[in-house]
Homo-oligomer: A and B are copies of this chain.
Amino acid sequence: MRSLYCGEVNESHIGQEVTLCGWVNKRRDLGAVIFLDVRDREGIVQVVFDPDLPDVLEKANTLRNEFCVQITGKVRPRPEGQVNKDMATGGIEVLGLSLNILNKSAPLPLDFNQENSEEQRLRYRYLDLRRPEMSERLKFRAKVTAAVRKSLEGQGFLDIETPILTAATPEGARDYLVPSRTHKGNFFALPQSPQLFKQLLMMSGMERYYQIVKCFRDEDLRADRQPEFTQIDIETSFMTADQVMAVTEKMIRELFIELLDVDLGEFPRMPYAEAMRRFGSDKPDLRNPLEIVDVADILKDVEFKVFSGPANDDNGRVAVICVPNGAASFSRKNIDDLTKFVGIYGAKGMPWLKVNDIDAGLEGLQSPILKFLSEEAVAALLERTNAKTGDIIFFGADTYTTVSEALGALRLKLGEDLGITSDEWKPLWVVDFPMFEEVDGHMHALHHPFTAPSNATPEELEANPIGALSDAYDMVLNGCELGGGSVRIHDKPMQSAVFRILGISDEEAQEKFGFLLDALQYGAPPHAGLAFGLDRLVMLMTGASSIRDVMAFPKTTTAACPLTNAPGQANEAQLVELGIAKLPKEK
């Protein structure tokens, strides 16, 4: 029905007759002449109807925005002065010779020239996606998946599908449940990830598995969460952590070179402990030049208990962020606001110190807490932070976790507010995670219960779980976790030990994960893997501000679809057939 796309017409077609299909993007009626911008997936071209063909002109006169049209015309250079260098097709125009109106359009419920509400955009998603910004994102996403597949298949990875209707998975978030009709009273769960299936595939000898796969979590949604999201899921046998990191780093580097012409270079590696210490985060944004500096040793002898308390506590932390040239930027009001901000993370206050003149001794400093500190401590502090005239120093003193989280968040906020976060790409690997963390007296797996310790026997691990490091690795880009993975446990005694540490009895473990424990007995190979969040990767690469903007049909923050009205009503007979009933509404 067309000879080429609108966006493809160029000077090489001058003199040729072309047939185009697309939508009226804009229409200008200059009385005797009508100009159309006609849009299709690949771009926009200008079409002119003139009085030489009065029938066609008359028909063109009935066109309105978003009519779907088929136009045959002759390509000609634009007249002198009308050339538009900002447009791919700006050097030419098409003189319309015939016009076929494929479909009319009522006036759109969305105005493309203004911001529309999220609700409206999702309700009329099929129109929202006509905006070139949105269609470009979906096209880009398709390019990402194609490049990922090419890279992985080139390295011998097999695309293998795993079930969507499955058993409850152990990731810890809430599962979506699906009532079974043939086994009434029982439920499938939608997978939070194909973790156990991909491990089983390694035990099957498939050796290199990948899948670009939907995963599901029934969580209360935040800006960057969706009930269903897409994972680039990878698992390998007979590879070390280093090799898995090499393979996947290569994939991401190739992706950035191919699609963005950006060479990310070799990714640095940073132990978890260092990331927490310097950046207060396990996904540090290295574009931000600010760092957290520990000063407990300097302040442990001051009389000020706010500092000396945590400084002398094994679980405490006293640290600062020094903002170069920041003194003038922060009024009392600003500082009060920041204090409230760190309060969100549990910080009970935020002492500060302005360096008005580094050469003027204590006189040159300004701070509500100066009187509590010794001159030596202050001098050591200024030296440690390498503070200069005009800088401001913010303090955190509390438990290790609270200070790290509060100063980590403060660092990001300051980087953003002060505009000092660069727009480079800053990838890194975070490694050497603890196996477990203790929360409210319970042990939790920092990654998941199938992650192997770096270097411990089951007995050693059970004797000192909190000190054990795991063979896990996260890929971080610009402060976002792009992906995470680990070497997996591949023998039954270790897997049983980890379950026991997590408070899962042998009996419960057998009931829930018996098939995994069984499978580990039949020559399970050493294996390791990783999963990337595709939505977030595409969001970062396209500069979109939400993963919703890189999905064709996302859900709202209450997990609904205003377009199809899902979730919807089910009739009573269906529910009876499934062996379930609705509970009466809560008052």
Query: Chain B: which residue is nearest A157 at the CB level?
Result: B142
1/0 contact string of A555-587 vs chain B (CB within 8 Å): 100111101111111100011111111110110
Number of interface residues of A (CB under 8 A): 120
A190 interfacial contact with B, CB 8 Å = yes
A149 interfacial contact with B, CB 8 Å = yes
A519 with B206: CB separation less than 8 A: no
Interface segment, one of A234-242, A433-441, A495-503: A234-242
Query: Chain B: which residue is nearest A169 at the CB level?
Result: B564
CA–CA, A566 to B168, complex, Å?
8
A203 with B126: CB separation less than 8 A: yes
A397 interfacial contact with B, CB 8 Å = no
> Known contacts being A165-B566, A207-B40, is A218 close to B181, with CB within 8 Å?
yes
Q: Shortest 6 CB-CB distances between A and B: which pairs?
A: A129-B204, A105-B523, A186-B567, A180-B567, A167-B566, A167-B564
The 7 sampled A-B contact pairs (Cβ below 8 Å) are A102-B490, A103-B525, A165-B566, A167-B567, A177-B179, A188-B566, A188-B567
Instruction: Give the contacting residue for A185; candidates B159, B552, B585; CB below 8 A.
Output: B585
B580 with A166: CB separation less than 8 A: no
CA–CA, A168 to B583, complex, Å?
21
CA–CA, A27 to B214, complex, Å?
42
CA–CA, A161 to B232, complex, Å?
13
A41 interfacial contact with B, CB 8 Å = yes
A187 interfacial contact with B, CB 8 Å = yes
CA–CA, A200 to B123, complex, Å?
12
Instruction: Give the contacting residue for A106; candidates B130, B185, B521; CB below 8 A.
Output: B521
Chain B contacts for A216, CB-based, 8 A: 164-165
Query: Chain B: which residue is nearest A230 at the CB level?
Result: B161
Q: Report which A residues bind B (CB closer than 8 A).
A: 1-2, 21-24, 39-41, 66-68, 70, 102-106, 108, 125-127, 129-130, 135, 138-139, 141-142, 145-146, 149, 153, 158-168, 174-190, 196-197, 200-201, 203-208, 214, 216, 218, 220, 227-228, 230, 237-240, 490-491, 515, 519, 521-526, 551-553, 555, 558-561, 563-570, 574-583, 585-586
What is the total number of copies of this protein in its complex? 2
Task: Return A420 CB to nearest CB of chain B, in Å.
Answer: 37
> Known contacts being A2-B238, A566-B165, is A138 close to B206, with CB within 8 Å?
yes
Chain B contacts for A490, CB-based, 8 A: 102-103
B581 with A583: CB separation less than 8 A: yes
A570 with B187: CB separation less than 8 A: yes
A184 with B568: CB separation less than 8 A: no
Task: Return A574 CB to nearest CB of chain B, in Å.
Answer: 7
Chain B contacts for A188, CB-based, 8 A: 566-567
Task: Return A565 CB to nearest CB of chain B, in Å.
Answer: 6
A526 with B66: CB separation less than 8 A: no
Chain B contacts for A2, CB-based, 8 A: 238
Task: Return A463 CB to nearest CB of chain B, in Å.
Answer: 24
Chain B contacts for A586, CB-based, 8 A: 184
CA–CA, A204 to B133, complex, Å?
12
Instruction: Give the contacting residue for A160; candidates B126, B138, B177, B180; CB below 8 A.
Output: B138
B200 with A125: CB separation less than 8 A: yes
Query: Chain B: which residue is nearest A214 at the CB level?
Result: B164
Chain B contacts for A563, CB-based, 8 A: 200, 515
Instruction: Give the contacting residue for A180; candidates B181, B186, B523, B559; CB below 8 A.
Output: B559
CA–CA, A452 to B184, complex, Å?
40
B197 with A552: CB separation less than 8 A: yes
Chain B contacts for A40, CB-based, 8 A: 205, 207
Query: Chain B: which residue is nearest A186 at the CB level?
Result: B567
Task: Return A572 CB to nearest CB of chain B, in Å.
Answer: 11
> Known contacts being A165-B555, A167-B565, A582-B579, is A525 close to B21, with CB within 8 Å?
yes
Chain B contacts for A201, CB-based, 8 A: 126, 129, 552
Task: Return A15 CB to nearest CB of chain B, in Å.
Answer: 24
Chain B contacts for A162, CB-based, 8 A: 552-553
A583 with B580: CB separation less than 8 A: yes
Task: Return A285 CB to nearest CB of chain B, in Å.
Answer: 28
Task: Return A493 CB to nearest CB of chain B, in Å.
Answer: 11
B102 with A566: CB separation less than 8 A: no
A130 with B205: CB separation less than 8 A: yes
Among A142, A167, A177, A201, which residue has the most Cβ atoms of chain B within 10 A?
A177
Known: A22-B205, A126-B203, A182-B560. 18 other contacts (CB 8 A): A1-B240, A23-B523, A40-B205, A41-B205, A129-B204, A129-B206, A135-B204, A138-B160, A142-B159, A145-B159, A146-B153, A161-B214, A163-B553, A164-B164, A165-B216, A180-B559, A187-B568, A579-B582
Instruction: Give the contacting residue for A178; candidates B178, B180, B521, B526; CB below 8 A.
Output: B178
